[in-house]
Amino acid sequence: MTRRVLLLLFAVLLLGGVGTTAVLNASANAGQREHQQAGGPAVRNGNLTLRPPSGRELVFRNMTWGPYRDDLVTVPADRPDAPRTASGVKCLRFYAASGTGVCLQAEHGTLGDSYQAVILDAGLRELHRFPLAGIPTRARVSPDGRLAAWTVFVGGDSYAGTNFSTRTSIVDTRTWKLDDNLETFTIIKDGHPYRASDINVWGVTFADDDRFYATVATGGQTYLVQGSLSARTLTTLHQNVECPSLSPDGTRIAYKKRVPGASPDAPWRLYVLDLRTMTETATAEHRNIDDQAVWSDDSTLVYALPGNYGTDLWTVPADGTGAARLLTKAALAPAYLQAN
Amino acid sequence: MYLADRCRSLPGTTGSRAAVPSAVLALGAVSLITDVSSEMITAVLPLYVVAGLGLSPLGFGLLDGVNNGATALVQLLGGALADRGGGRHKAVAAFGYGLSALCKPLLLLAGSVPAIGAVLAVERTGKGLRTAPRDAMISLATAPEHRGRAFGVHRAMDTVGALLGPLIAFAVLAAADGSQGGASAGTDGYHAVFTVSACVAALGVLVLLLFVPSRRAVGPAAKPPLRQTLALIRVPALRRLTLCAVLLGLSTVSDAFVYLLIQRRTGLAVGLFPLLPLGTSAAFLLLAVPFGSLADRIGRPRLFLAGHGALLLGYGLLLCPLSGAAPVLLVLALHGAFYAATDGVLAAAASGTVPAEHQGAGLALVGTGQGAARFVCSLAFGAAWSAWGGHTALALAATALATTSVVAFGILRTHQEATT
């Protein structure tokens, strides 16, 4: 008995030591990153507005380590490597248009993290906040700044482990009416109303203050849908489309397409769909992409790819020509801001 | 015959306050420690995949259905292997626990969703292998008339681990993040959680090896194990119990659907959704021991049926127009009561129907039947939801549960009349 107890005690000490070392190591790394600044893009404090006084600006989540990690920062749109102006507002995901911002934030708590969607005005002042059901992944604002949408990942029940689902919500920032779950909209698939327990909706992109596009997944297949907020419908248009992004002129959708023959680790490539002809064009970006792209103008796409700081922003022409080019390092969740 | 002897778990046989055998407490401790370890992983895995690795977990195909089916078969194999050669329960259980423990450090190396899925599949194989031999050891260590309570104690300890795991995981994550209050901390924190989880799992295996007694051979060396397992179907009492477990399993809606229905039907605030499984676990924890003792006194099949009655009541509540916190708590309490009255109780009931040398295989047979039936039910439920919507699907499940409960009542009552 005593030998067994001694052996157990020894093992507890040993394993406890290994565990403690792992936690302390991680903590030390985190502390080190807190101070590490050198080498990366320069960041400095400043006033940030979603309606720049002049010119065009690019706003995104800063990914450099240090005090400005996760801060919203801006740079002039034509000089993405210029020093970044930090706002002090931290977001996991962000998007802005016409002076309205949607910032998906994490809040640390004892029972794990909780998440919020915060609607910001042009001065980054909080207008409203909504609790989120899971981990933020996509955010968008309608072109005139009235509607905001977001998608979160929700873990299934705790015994299933790998079972994920999404929840996508749209809020009207004028009336604060919230459509909490787009899965409750009527789905019209191939012309007929469709119902299923395995429906997931994600990646909203707005055309105007009623019409939008998104991805619906069901039965192991993904679809591009056109949604109507007033009619509460989602109508399928095309197959194998995820994370759609509507071009500023409203004629094309950039999206990630699952390509046959790709490795299951890296199944998606960046494509553009012409909504009039329904023809697909592969872009010159040949790497796997897992992002909802942004249009910097009617012919250029911007998207995130993994990099040394987490993610970098890249750019590629939308018509399949040219080549992918690094836009700026250590950045995620971009949006273009127009002067008044 | 041994069957009559083992079914004598009726009122007044012996004083019911005997101590829980130390082997059961040791196995309970092993399960507690192991559940802390695995629930730590479950709690942070979605965050790790999405926030830590920056991957989209959707659209990689749902392996869960396949995994569940495979786990049921593995359980049968575990039970059969454990009985082979007359009682290698501890060895097979240790292999199962060890296999799951090895998966935790492997998570440190798995950087993609398919790789993580593969590690989890192996983890579940270990879980499937160890379940039947562990339950067999519990029943073999306990006098037949106290098995309900023994399984209740084991399930309660197991649930404590499941409740502690997420708390410890988030404490580790917070400690590893250090002073950094930012929204993202890279993957270091998650790797610390995996390392701690691996240490905890190793401790669980060690407690099993050191403190769970190995049993000497309890029967003659065996025939080929799987044939022997299937031959157990011919034992009438086990066949009846398995039939009932399968029938009722066919109308038991899976937890994920139950929580989804609660959320949809009551308009629960989205932030509270992750807390729903905690409600079920809390009720399960509180009721497992008293219900186990009750089963020893009034009869395990009876309580097993009553548990499904509680579930039926829960379905009924969900079919009513509800709002507010009270009905949610009531449904969760009923859901937890259902588990407390059926999970360990079924194992205790099954252990009474088979001789000692076939405990592992007998328990595995009932467990596999129930697991496979529940899997079929969730497929059917998903299809019904697609065709007619969630409300109608639940109404159908409730009708099915009411029907199968009546049939099961009939089967088990003739059984009781035959043996008393």
DSSP line for A41-99: --EEE----SS-SSS-EEEEEE--SSTTTTEEEEEETT-TTSPEEEEEEE-SEEEEETT
Per-residue confidence (pLDDT) for residue B175, from 0 to 100:
85
Note the pLDDT of residue B289. 96
For chain A, give the percent of residues with pLDDT over 90. 68
Which of A273-277, A308-312, B65-69 has the weakest average pLDDT? B65-69
Instruction: Encode burial over A236-251: b for 16+ CB neighbours within 10 A, e otherwise.
Output: bbbebbbbbbbbeeee
B272 inside 8 A of chain A by CB: no
Q: Which of A233-237, B108-112, B255-259 has the highest mean pLDDT?
A: A233-237
Q: Which CATH architecture has domain B19-215?
A: Up-down Bundle (1.20)
Over residues B38-56, the mean pLDDT reads 79
> Does this chain's domain B19-215 share its CATH topology with B223-420?
yes
Q: What's the pLDDT tens digit per position in A98-114?
A: 999 999 998 876 666 78
Model-level pTM?
A: 0.81
Residue A35 contacts B where some CB pair is shorter than 8 Å = no
Q: What is the pLDDT of residue B232?
A: 83
Confidence (pLDDT) at B181: 41
Task: Inspect the interface and report whether the beta carbons of A26 and B191 lie closer than 8 Å.
Answer: yes
The confidence score (pLDDT) of residue B16 equals 46
Taking contacts as CB-CB distances below 8 angstroms, the residues of chain A near B191 are 22, 26
Q: By the 8 A CB rule, do B201 and B34 touch? A: yes
Closest residue in chain B to residue A68, using alpha carbons only: B182
Residue A30 has pLDDT above 80, yes or no: no
Is the pLDDT at A271 greater than 80, yes or no?
Answer: yes
Best of A1, A2, A27 to mutate (most B CBs within 10 Å, chain B): A27
- CATH class, domain B223-420, is mainly alpha
- Contact status of B192 with chain A (Cβ, < 8 Å): yes
More confident residue, B124 or B102: B102
For A160, the closest of B64, B200, B386 (CB atoms) is: B64
Mean pLDDT of B110-118: 81
Q: Give the residue from B40, B123, B188, B378 with the most A CB atoms within 10 Å of its CB, the best one to mutate.
A: B188
Pairing verdict, β A135-141 and A126-132: unpaired
Q: Are B21 and B150 in contact (CB under 8 A)?
A: yes
Q: Say whether residue B57 is in contact with chain A using an 8 A CB cutoff.
A: yes
Which residue does chain B place closest to A137, by CA atoms?
B50
Q: Would you state the pLDDT for residue B197? A: 96
**Closest CB to A166 among B58, B176, B184:** B58
Residues whose CB is less than 8 angstroms from the CB of residue B325 and which lie 6 or more positions away in sequence, other chains included: none
Number of CB pairs, chain A paired with chain B, less than 8 A apart: 200
Confidence of residue A301 (pLDDT cuts 50, 70, 90): very high
From chain B, the residues in CB contact with A137 under 8 A are: 50, 56
Question: Where along chain B do its domains lie?
Answer: 19-215, 223-420
Contacts of B214 (CB under 8 A, 6+ apart): B87, B90, B91
Per-chain mean pLDDT for chain A: 90
ipTM rounded to 2 decimals = 0.78
User: What is the predicted pLDDT for the residue at B34?
Assistant: 96
At A261, is the pLDDT very low, low, confident or very high (cuts 50, 70, 90)? confident
Q: What are phi and psi of B339, to 5 degrees?
A: -65, -40
Contacts of A110 (CB under 8 A, 6+ apart): B167, B170, B171, B174
Say which residue, B324 or A284, is predicted with more confidence: A284
